[in-house]
Structure 1
Amino acid sequence: MGDKANAHSGAAGRAPTADRPADIRNVVLVGHSGSGKTTLVEALALTAGAVNRAGRVEDGGTISDHDEIEHRQQRSVQLSLVPLEWDGYKINLLDTPGYADFVGELRAGLRAADAALFVVSAAQEADAVAGSTRMVWEECAAVGMPRAIVVTHLDTARTDFAALTGVCGEIFGGDDPDAVLPLYLPVLGPEAPDGHAPVTGLVGLLSERIFDYSSGVRQEVAPDDGQKALIAEARGRLIEGIIAESEDETLMDRYLGGEEIDVKTLIDDLEKAVARGTFHPVLAAAPATEGGKQGLGTLELLELVTRGFPTPLEREAPAVTTPDGVPRPPLTCDPEGPLVAEVVKTASDPYVGRISLVRVFSGTLRPDETVHVSGHGLADRGHEDHDVDERVGALTSPFGKQQRPLGRCVAGDLACVAKLGRAETGDTLSSKDDPLLMEPWTMPDPLLPLAIEAHSKADEDRLSQGLARLVAEDPTMRLEQNQDTRQVVLWCLGEAHREVALERLRNRYGVQVDAVPHKVPLRETFAGPSAGRGRHVKQSGGHGQFAICEIDVEPLPPGSGVEFVDKVVGGAVPRQFIPSVEKGVRAQAARGVAAGYPLVDVRVTLRDGKAHSVDSSDAAFQTAGALALREAAAEASIQLLEPVDEVQVLVPDEYVGPVMSDLSGRRGRVVGTDQAGPGRTVVRAEVPEIEIDRYAVDLRSVSHGTGRFDRTYARHEAMPPHLADKIREQAEKGS
């Protein structure tokens, strides 16, 4: 690579199109927040002629037109598609957020892409490379996705390209660091007074040519003798790395025997190894200098994408079934095949309405045709399953905030679809005559709760619609209507995710909401046996009220609920009023007897009472039953029960100690550890739910962004007395 002329074709003012899957490249950009992904996309767009030097397209839009929330937060919060046309190929660049809270957008980008560019900043510490970015690398490795690495911010003082590529080899190469090697080395210009030497070009290790970008346009020159010496060692290691991945088993012996391997053979083997996902080249890139038309390394990167990355034809499509689960034959990326597309992102436009970004895996999607929408098995997150026909609106290709019309979208390509009112992220679009459902991709589980209330009565009326639109756009968000605490809870991935949710509700959907403290569903129970007498006697002229009942209460084993037993003899309480007593007892148990939490795990025995032939009634005995339970509670010791979760934390081995210590500080009981692959451990613990309300945020800090956890409810246990007393005091103040 690197021997190609400066051939490119601009796409300014019109939407790039492709008629064949072989002419499409779908590439997702992955990297830590601040690594320079969006700047790199802009530099590639400039080199491809999609934008002018000011970053504008012919019709006035810009590639940098972001969501209004991104402007305010100064960071990417959503997946964006930038289609380019270069040298006869359509390149779909999928720019993903680098912040961990928006990993759902990243997973959508991975689903839509066939290869990944990992963007690493030379200005960031190695820890930034080794954290969340390494986890995504492992996800890509698990599915065999081809990957390359791009180093940015080379203009930063005291950067060391060789040292950084070594770090990338250690982190991303694992047991085979020679599978992660640079294709080019930076060429430094004259040293400035501060000792910093700018990067003016690249030297191709295979071609042994210098690509000089100092004029703003790539120029190819021969290296001098000093540069040749610099190239030799790195070139030899690269050649050995490529040959090690070659399908020609004789190549290594020939090379070690002294034979000079033809550069074309090396490039062919390199491209095949990259496409297979067994070799991961490292490149460098930077925006164009003032007045320049080509950013440093952008042509080399476009060459790698078009020649080394696979086409959609080479990707195995996700499995498909009928909507009722009957397996169907594997899909092929054929524009003439059955239509199967997937919604990878859903957004709202104030003028157009809902816009769905779709990846077509089979067939051809056309405007104004009727498709079947199937999906998507996320009912537990507030997303209803779909099985409906909908009419496709216009097909467009996005570029910043611009939407350019498309006549069709063939298999392997991506497009935006307008006015799909029911389709949500993760849903499948297929022929209405042959409905299909794609196997869903893995969604991260949101574990940070956000309890909200409508700010006013008017907002209360709009809240349900706003929440429905919010979760339709973001399948990583879970909506819960908690019956125990009577709270509306949005479960998010982190604090930034939570802030974006609030801002979208307020500014995009016009719903003013207030965040309130999240309540954990506590319970109450009797610590020992007790007895109570409920007397409800009123005479106020006319028809009176008369009911007296006496009960015994005793604790039961956990999980028993509330058990009611009738042991009345001699008709002291008439048979028709015994259900009334039980109803009153159960109603009071649901309201609680000490701090306002439901009473559980008790047996209430009705043993005696009195009635009046005229004044006794159903309502009177319900009231007497409730009074009896409250009196029994006043004479007894009431325990507060808190929910305990089984927690599994997956972390690199070096963070096992800090994680276990942190869990112990949360009143957790570590019950074991298990190996989860090379260098990874699962820590299993039981932790009170009230102690891990913010664990989604805190684990990130403890594990430097490398930890993940899941939690499942285990049981309710007695809360320590000093904590229970605080809860009761708060309840008394609030009453």
Structure 2
Amino acid sequence: MGDKANTHPGAAGRAITAGQPSSVRNVVLVGHSGSGKTTLVEALALTAGAVNRAGRVEDGGTVSDYDEIEHRQQRSVQLSLVPLEWGGCKINLLDTPGYADFVGELRAGLRAADAALFVVSAAQEADAVAGSCRAVWEECAAVGMPRAIVVTHLDTARVDFDGLTAVLARIFGGDDPDAILPLYVPVLGAPQPDGHAPATGLVGLLTERIFDYASGERTEHPPQEAQRPLVASARDRLIEGIIAESEDESLMDRYVGGEAIDVGTLIADLEKAVARGSFHPVLAAAPAAPGGKQGLGTVELLELITRGFPTPLERELPAVTTPEGSPRPALVCDPDGPLAAEVVKTSSDPYVGRMSLVRVFSGTLRPDETVHVSGHGLADRGHEDHDVDERVGALTAPFGKQQRQLGACIAGDIACVAKLTRAETGDTLSAKDDPLLMEPWRMPDPLLPLAIEAHSKADEDKLSQGLSRLVAEDPTMRLEQNQDTHQVVLWCLGEAHRDVALERLRHRYGVQVDVVPHKVPLRETFGNRAGGRGRHVKQSGGHGQFAICEIEVEPLPPGSGIEFVDKVVGGAVPRQFIPSVEKGVRAQAARGVLSGFPLVDVRVTLLDGKAHSVDSSDAAFQTAGALALREAAADTRINLLEPVAEVRVMVPDEYVGAVMSDLSGRRGRVVGTEQAGGGRTVVRADVPEIEIGRYAVELRSLSHGTGRFDRRYARHEPMPSQVAEKLREGAAA
């Protein structure tokens, strides 16, 4: 690894196909926004010969030409696939957004990949790296996914590479920081006028060779004598780290005894440890200078991917069942096995329609065949169950704006499938005569509400279809038709996620919407016992209306709802009209009696009334019942009830005090804390929902991106009188 150059003719202008699963490498790029993931992908594409020196493919576009919204917002907002070829292997690079709002795209990339490259900018603060990447690192560790770290922006920052590596070991290493060590260290060129010395090459610590990129092409030569002491200490630590992870237990004894371990043995053990996920090398990379053919460190990185990262054959595949839930044998990555593939991303193309990015785990997917689509039915997020057959359209490999035709997609590979009209992200594709359902991956819960209304009647006609297509593409978005507030609410992961959703509605689906204040479903209840009389008497010629009823209303414990009790004696209200009074009372309770919020937790007792043999009717007694309830409400105190959520906030220990203080300022009651491990604490609190509408955004700011929370509805509680009064004043204004 790193001991020889790899010359490659490139793959520009043709689709890259995989011969066998052993020749495929699926790699997801993870990193903070601005860390340089997309630039790194373009640099690797240049080195692999997939683009020309100007970074263009043959149609004039670039590998990053993927979505107009990304160009307008100047940031990645969705998962993109860039296939390359190097050393006889097909490398599927999955470039993920770095912004926290698009973590759903990141999780899709993790699902499709077999290894991860964590991209860290040398110009970023350690807190930013830890906040955005540590949780993902731990997720990868939990499933044994191999990881490596790539340091970028060496050319734009004053970098202490040894110090930076130590920080990365502290952030990611946990109890084993010696498992995170550099394979190469930068060679610095002549200092610039600002005193900064740019990196011009790398020293291979194992081979003790210098790989020089100063000319724009990689050359190799031995180090000068003055350079040897600079790498001796780092080389010793690397060798010790490799030996510590070696499966050959005698290797450490031989090394401690003074034996010089063969470099070939060390490289072989290193590659095994990387593929096993027990050793995580640190590399450095930078794009090529103008006119250059290779960016610094790109050859070394491609060699690590092809020689150190595992093949799909080495991955434990997701569990499968039948669509009805019956267990099935574990999947094996075999092109001749039963078809089992998964839609990891759904997007819409204005010219070809819906496009599905699919990872094939078993079997072979072919164009124009009929497959079975099985869906998980995330009903709470606006996704229906899927259990249908669909015909597969064309199979393609994306490259920028191009879609290159594929004849098939074998187990372990990734491809785009056209015209799957029913399949959504997370759905399973399998043989129509042997349907399967894959265990879903965990999706983050969207916690930022966005209430919207159609801008015009024309938009109202298109809104439903636009929203259904939007949530079909993005399973991290939840669509709610709130029956209490009568609002259409899109639940998002953050403000950037919200902005992208609105832009997609406008530009992709042609729907203009207005954003309106999100309403929390409040309730009303009686503060004391009260009585009311409803009198509905009208005579205007012909058949009249006559109904009188007297009721008593008393408050009940929370959660009791509306109780109706009949205590009429002597037939004052005829039996056939008793249900009419109840119907009128319940209809008025649903409309509210003071502020327009539903009335709950009261007992309404019908005591007396009067009727007319000709003019009384069902409608008249419904109206009288409603009037009686309103009169009773006018003679007593009406309390507003607000929903309270049980909130669990997980943050690093240093932010616990700030989080607890913030929750208290939101009228929250902290009910406990507990250690979560890894220097983090879970804070549990009951907080009124009206106070946490933007908490998804505000917690991120408060904890520098390191905190996360979840919440669930607990109950409705009386709102403090001063808060209720302000709310009523605001509604009246």
Q: TM-score range by the shorter chain?
A: over 0.9
Look up the match of 1:133. 133
Look up the match of 2:148. 148
Look up the match of 2:89. 89
CA distance in 2, matches of 1:620, 1:320: 60
Shift of 1:732: 3.3
Look up the match of 2:527. 527
Look up the match of 1:499. 499
CA distance in 2, matches of 1:157, 1:141: 30
* Paired residue type of 2:274: V
- SS for the counterpart of 1:646 is strand
Look up the match of 1:609. 609
Shift of 1:730: 3.2
Cα deviations by residue, 1:287-322 (Å, 9 ceiling, x for unpaired): 001211000000000000000000000000000000
- Give unpaired runs (5+ residues) of structure 2: none
Shift of 1:7: 2.0
CA distance in 2, matches of 1:376, 1:414: 21
Shift of 1:678: 2.7
CA distance in 2, matches of 1:61, 1:206: 39
Moved more, 538-547 or 424-433: 538-547
Cα deviations by residue, 1:232-259 (Å, 9 ceiling, x for unpaired): 1100000000000000111111101100
CA distance in 1, matches of 2:165, 2:215: 27
Q: Does structure 1 retain, via aligned residues, the 8 Å contact 2:242–2:266?
A: yes
CA distance in 1, matches of 2:26, 2:157: 34
CA distance in 1, matches of 2:35, 2:731: 48
Cα deviations by residue, 1:159-211 (Å, 9 ceiling, x for unpaired): 22111111001111111111000000000111122211111100000000000
Q: Does structure 1 retain, via aligned residues, the 8 Å contact 2:6–2:87?
A: no
Look up the match of 1:24. 24
* Paired residue type of 2:227: Q
Shift of 1:22: 0.3
Q: Does structure 1 retain, via aligned residues, the 8 Å contact 2:182–2:282?
A: yes
- SS for the counterpart of 1:131 is helix
CA distance in 1, matches of 2:489, 2:44: 42
- SS for the counterpart of 1:510 is coil
Shift of 1:658: 1.2
- Give unpaired runs (5+ residues) of structure 1: none
- SS for the counterpart of 2:662 is helix
Equivalences for 1:320-331 in 2 at 5 Å? 320-331=320-331
Shift of 1:59: 3.6
CA distance in 1, matches of 2:702, 2:3: 47
* Paired residue type of 1:413: D
Equivalences for 1:665-676 in 2 at 5 Å? 665-676=665-676
* Paired residue type of 2:694: R
Look up the match of 1:644. 644
Shift of 1:729: 2.3
Look up the match of 1:727. 727
Look up the match of 1:290. 290
- SS for the counterpart of 2:403 is strand
* Paired residue type of 2:428: T
Moved more, 229-238 or 57-66: 57-66
Shift of 1:61: 3.2
Look up the match of 2:387. 387
- SS for the counterpart of 1:676 is strand
Look up the match of 1:425. 425
CA distance in 2, matches of 1:60, 1:693: 45
Taking only the aligned residue pairs, the percentage that are identical comes to: 85
Look up the match of 1:162. 162
CA distance in 2, matches of 1:2, 1:132: 30
Q: Does structure 1 retain, via aligned residues, the 8 Å contact 2:372–2:387?
A: yes
* Paired residue type of 1:292: G
Q: Does structure 1 retain, via aligned residues, the 8 Å contact 2:459–2:511?
A: yes
Cα deviations by residue, 1:20-56 (Å, 9 ceiling, x for unpaired): 0000000000000000000000000000000001111
Moved more, 631-640 or 573-582: 573-582
Look up the match of 1:333. 333
CA distance in 1, matches of 2:188, 2:237: 22
* Paired residue type of 1:435: P
Shift of 1:331: 0.5
CA distance in 2, matches of 1:193, 1:55: 29
Whether 1:409 and 2:409 are equivalent positions in the alignment is yes
Whether 1:63 and 2:73 are equivalent positions in the alignment is no
- SS for the counterpart of 1:711 is strand
Equivalences for 1:174-213 in 2 at 5 Å? 174-213=174-213
Look up the match of 1:697. 697
Cα deviations by residue, 1:302-359 (Å, 9 ceiling, x for unpaired): 0000000000000000000000001111101000000000000000000000000000
- SS for the counterpart of 2:337 is coil
Cα deviations by residue, 1:355-376 (Å, 9 ceiling, x for unpaired): 0000000000000000000012
Whether 1:107 and 2:117 are equivalent positions in the alignment is no
Look up the match of 1:593. 593
* Paired residue type of 2:247: E
CA distance in 1, matches of 2:407, 2:4: 32
Look up the match of 2:47. 47
Shift of 1:58: 2.2
Cα deviations by residue, 1:211-240 (Å, 9 ceiling, x for unpaired): 000011100011011111111110000000
Cα deviations by residue, 1:657-682 (Å, 9 ceiling, x for unpaired): 11111111111111111222231221
Shift of 1:8: 1.9
Look up the match of 2:626. 626
Look up the match of 1:468. 468
* Paired residue type of 1:515: V
Cα deviations by residue, 1:535-581 (Å, 9 ceiling, x for unpaired): 11111112111111111000001001010111111111111111111
CA distance in 2, matches of 1:339, 1:573: 70
Whether 1:79 and 2:79 are equivalent positions in the alignment is yes
* Paired residue type of 1:732: A
Look up the match of 1:299. 299
CA distance in 2, matches of 1:153, 1:225: 28
Look up the match of 2:713. 713
CA distance in 2, matches of 1:113, 1:10: 23
* Paired residue type of 1:460: E
Q: How many residues align?
A: 733
**What is the root-mean-square deviation of aligned Cα atoms in Å?**
0.8
Q: Does structure 2 retain, via aligned residues, the 8 Å contact 1:9–1:86?
A: no
Q: Does structure 1 retain, via aligned residues, the 8 Å contact 2:122–2:157?
A: no
- SS for the counterpart of 1:251 is helix
* Paired residue type of 2:528: G
- Length-normalised TM-score, structure 1: 0.99
- SS for the counterpart of 1:579 is helix
- SS for the counterpart of 1:491 is strand
- Length-normalised TM-score, structure 2: 0.99
Look up the match of 1:563. 563
Look up the match of 1:454. 454
Cα deviations by residue, 1:693-721 (Å, 9 ceiling, x for unpaired): 11111111111111111111110000000
